[in-house]
Structure 1
């Protein structure tokens, strides 16, 4: 019973410590996960787990270790932000693996990548033909950036000299059957206007709507709970053992 209580208290301490330290370290730990960030995150998580369950030792040494690793991680982020030369060695640099349509074999070998690895990364970018690629760069976080040859780039309104008004970011007006009045006011719309729009879609009450959004350009999206779809399309290629 006492051990269970100790684990509970330690778990609470470790949980909120990680929460605070994650806020301090920022979203970069998630959005741009380099090898250093990956190792740092695993180590911090391991120390927090040991702090929670290792009852054979006192808690404060583990907490000191956790605090030290988080402070060092924050220090490295500060150094790489203020001193680009240090960031070159700590975070790494982008590496060109395809230049002018030609694969840079030495760059691939240096990064321990194979041709199969490169092809897989290209497919993730919807590129299935190497002849379409002009430049490809492996970023420090391992992601691939691709610049296609001009003849394979999709046309844009600018290419065709067409003026296109910005659509803006959609705002939720109804979420899970609940009307959000604050967002209606933000878009200078009234509940009466919204109900009129719902009526046009044969919706009598807000509770029938799963989600409804509106963009600044006036594009309204409405999704009902009951969409009268008999069966979702099966895109799997394995039907199971039957």
Structure 2
């Protein structure tokens, strides 16, 4: 048989074998690699390339070599899960390179990183001043984990003691102009509601490329025609504004009346409504 036929046959066989081996070893093989996984990956690829293109090579020996390396990798991963010391030996440990805003030069040299390389890793995390960093670790897989000093961290609702509404997973209810009934049911909506919302936004189903219902039950759409501007949903902000106006009206009524009984009633209901506004504000603020 001609040589090209053997190359095609071996390529298909080893492509399938490599796929099965990688599938068994797990997603870790296609993520950031450790030193050991990097060496194994290069070796397996070299073996496969040599056997596929080397017509005089024994195909079964190559397959055996790949299986051996695959088994060794599987065994190493299994032992690493059971033993922390073995895991540190094979995959390495994190190295602290910045502490209290100061670079630890000895640790940086030990990992053979330059200041420029460290600066590039920091810039990738939108950090431009080393002095702003409380703690930074160079992870075993080469990525940098950094913790900013407290005064340099962005404010969060928790810092401001704000209550925030819990959000659920958005449901994709329209895809390529077609209604997805299962996600629509999961969002607690029906086709009638969907057609009504589309009508409110002045769009038709056949012009919608993508549509989602968020955790607040609001529909957002992306149209095929990008020149058409879709109005933003404003039900929640409008409801909040209405509640605030009603509460303010009650306060005004309490000041305007001379009847003590009516004044007390208005004040009481204004206070109840104010309490409700404070509780609902995290849900209704846009």
TM-score bracket, shorter-length normalisation: 0.7 to 0.9
CA RMSD of aligned residues (A): 1.8
Residue matched to 1:85: 85
Deviation at 1:140, TM superposition (A): 0.6
Residue matched to 1:76: 76
Residue matched to 1:213: 212
- Cα–Cα, structure 1 residues 23 and 147, in superposed 2: closer, same or farther, change >3 Å? same
Secondary structure of the corresponding residue to residue 142 of structure 2 = coil
- Cα–Cα, structure 1 residues 174 and 136, in superposed 2: closer, same or farther, change >3 Å? same
- Cα–Cα, structure 1 residues 209 and 52, in superposed 2: closer, same or farther, change >3 Å? farther
Residue matched to 2:134: 134
Deviations 1:109-128 (A, max 9, x none): 00000111110100000001
Deviations 1:117-166 (A, max 9, x none): 11010000000112211111101110000100000001111111111122
Query: Is the Cα contact below 8 Å between 2:134 and 2:149 reproduced in 1?
Result: yes
Does 1:188 pair with 2:188? yes
Alignment of 1:226-241 (within 5 A): 226-228=225-227
Secondary structure of the corresponding residue to residue 228 of structure 1 = coil
Deviations 1:49-103 (A, max 9, x none): 3333222212111111111111111111101111111011100001100011111
Deviation at 1:18, TM superposition (A): 1.8
TM (normalized to structure 1)? 0.87
Question: Where is the helix percentage greater, Structure 1 or Structure 2?
Answer: 2
* Counterpart-to-counterpart distance in 1, 2:140 and 2:215: 36
Query: Is the Cα contact below 8 Å between 1:166 and 1:217 reproduced in 2?
Result: no
Any gaps of 5 or more consecutive residues in structure 1? 230-242
- Cα–Cα, structure 1 residues 46 and 152, in superposed 2: closer, same or farther, change >3 Å? same
Query: Is the Cα contact below 8 Å between 1:95 and 1:137 reproduced in 2?
Result: yes
Structure 1 outlier segments of 4+, above 6 Å = none
Query: Is the Cα contact below 8 Å between 2:25 and 2:73 reproduced in 1?
Result: yes
TM (normalized to structure 2)? 0.74
Secondary structure of the corresponding residue to residue 155 of structure 2 = coil
Residue matched to 1:152: 152
Any gaps of 5 or more consecutive residues in structure 2? 229-286
* Counterpart-to-counterpart distance in 2, 1:61 and 1:71: 15
* Counterpart-to-counterpart distance in 2, 1:219 and 1:226: 21
Residue matched to 2:15: 15
Residue matched to 2:54: 54
* Counterpart-to-counterpart distance in 2, 1:15 and 1:145: 36
Alignment of 1:101-140 (within 5 A): 101-140=101-140
Q: Which structure is larger by alpha-carbon Rg, 1 or 2?
A: 2
* Counterpart-to-counterpart distance in 1, 2:15 and 2:209: 34
Residue matched to 2:241: none
* Counterpart-to-counterpart distance in 1, 2:78 and 2:45: 21
* Counterpart-to-counterpart distance in 2, 1:136 and 1:171: 37
When structure 1 is superposed on structure 2, of 209-218 and 11-20 the one drifting more is 209-218
Residue matched to 1:25: 25
* Counterpart-to-counterpart distance in 1, 2:104 and 2:174: 51
- Cα–Cα, structure 1 residues 219 and 113, in superposed 2: closer, same or farther, change >3 Å? farther
* Counterpart-to-counterpart distance in 1, 2:209 and 2:44: 40
Secondary structure of the corresponding residue to residue 70 of structure 1 = helix
Greater RCO, CA 8 A, separation 6+:
1
Query: Is the Cα contact below 8 Å between 1:98 and 1:137 reproduced in 2?
Result: yes
